[in-house]
Chains A and B, each alone.
Chain A
Amino acid sequence: MKILAVDDDLIILELLTQFIQAVGDHELVTAESGSEALDLLRAEAKGTFDCFMLDIQMPNMDGIELTRRIRMMSRYADTPVLMLTAMADKRYIDGAFAAGATDYVTKPFEVAELQARLGLVAGMIEGRRARTRKIFAASAVGAQAGSTAVELHEPISIHDVDNVIEYVAMENYVQQLTRNSLFGSSTFAFTMREIEQYHAAMSPFEFYSLISDMAEIISDTLHGHQFLMSYAGSGTFVCITESGWRPDMGRLVDAVNLSLARTELYNNAGERLHPRVSGGDVVRLIWKSGAAVMDALATAHATAEAASAAHGKSQTDYWNMGQIA
């Protein structure tokens, strides 16, 4: 991997240089400020960096603003960004994830932790390359309706929607929550009804566009609250709030569906789409730790999918009842 590390502390950059040399197989480029990093990125003809390691606290432009600027470059829209954080930076972590960070590494560094994080990043990059190859392969044959190039159950990276982060970043975010106070944190989810039908009938691009539009509508509906959201696959959007806000799912689902009803969504054939969502349980994270927090995320996800399935069944039952009557 080719990695760009940005930190205003020369000792950190030297430490990372030594470390990267020791683990081998990676190339490290360093910059001492956000502006120097941006100059480097602008100077290169095409996206050559596979990963970024950014300090959070830097003078003039901090690591969060730098992450935001990097994400605005289309070639780096989903390149892994690891934040380099000291204990005192924990309060900035939310902002870093919201800006597009993928994960974080705690200072002072330990070899094993750094190695593990870089290993995860390398795995992510490989997985992404495989998916990209599949999508290109589908495009080459015309991306016909019914193509399964984008698997239904796969998380999709959504860009440029406020507070929407990658699913891997969401999992990492939840992991760091376990190390902090979980008081006031809750997770909840929305699932698009009839997602299987949409997936089966649409080209990968149409499906991606629909998921993106849906993310934007949910994000706009939650505007004004502190939250992070991610598309987990199978039509489900998982959200987390740390602010103590306890969402009323009934009202939220109504608000999202009202917004969907007012939004004109079309497929490539010009036919109007009428997607709707169901909401699951709000699961509080207080007193949970480690695997229990991940379980809570899974519960929010599963209950939203169950609500969507129950809604579908009730529609079918309704028509069956009509036939009997």
Chain B
Amino acid sequence: MKDMVDELPGLAKVRTRFLEMLVDRQALIAEHALSAWEGETLQDINGNLEAAKAILHQIAGTAGSLGFSDLGVAARSCESEVIAHLEGPDADLAICPGEIIYHMDLFVKQCEETLNTLA
């Protein structure tokens, strides 16, 4: 996939803004993942997974256009995993699958690496 940044020079400032927002977004994803993992009620768990999914969805929708294709693919993969759980047979049980949290943790680390590389 071709990055739009290469084609449209004006996107450099959008890319900078994306990275600024990524700092907050990765922190929020980590916070929601932890809250879901430690949640005891269905509302706690699914509510936090839903919130993390919304942030992952936004990252997945833009990262690829701004030169961060790997990050976008990883975000989409995590998002799909959360959707599969929230729409799956265990959706009405107060269960937070460990795999989802593990993958979200990896994603948060990937965000950190991306930010550190460009710092």
Contact = CB atoms under 8 A, between A and B. Distances in A.
Contacts of B58: 9, 11-12
A21 B58 CA distance: 23
A111 B7 CA distance: 8
Contact of B61 (A14, A59, A107, A111): A107
B2 A11 contact: no
Contact of B21 (A11, A87, A107): A11
A9 to B, nearest CB: 5
A12 B17 CA distance: 11
A35 interface: no
Interface in B6-32: 7-8, 10-11, 14, 17-18, 21
A211 B27 CA distance: 56
- The A interface is mostly helix, strand or loop, or mixed, namely helix
What band does the interface of chain B fall in when counting residues whose beta carbon is under 8 Å from A?
20 to 34
Contacts of B76: 86-88
Contact of B65 (A10, A15, A22, A59): A15
Interface string A108-119: 111110000000
A15 B8 CA distance: 10
Count chain B CB atoms within 10 A of each CB in A14, A15, A59 and give the residue with the most. A15
A83 to B, nearest CB: 13
A57 interface: yes
Interface size class, chain A: 20 to 34
B2 A18 contact: no
Nearest to B69: A108
Contact of A12 (B61, B64, B80): B61
Given A88-B79, A88-B83, A18 B62 contact: no
Given A108-B72, A111-B4, A86 B11 contact: no
Contacts of B14: 11, 14-15, 18
B85 interface: no
A49 interface: no
Given A88-B79, A110-B2, A111-B2, A18 B10 contact: yes
B61 A19 contact: no
Interface in B33-82: 54, 57-58, 60-66, 69, 72, 76, 79-80
Nearest to A108: B64
Nearest to A23: B8
Contacts of A110: 1-2, 4, 65
A84 B61 CA distance: 9
A19 B8 contact: yes
Looking at B1, B60, B69, B83, the one whose CB has the most chain A CB atoms below 10 A away is B60
B57 A15 contact: no
Given A86-B76, A108-B62, A108-B63, A15 B83 contact: no
Contacts of A10: 17, 21
A9 B57 CA distance: 10
Interface string A288-307: 00000000000000000000
B8 A18 contact: yes
A9 B10 CA distance: 18
Interface in A1-43: 9-12, 14-15, 18-19, 21-22
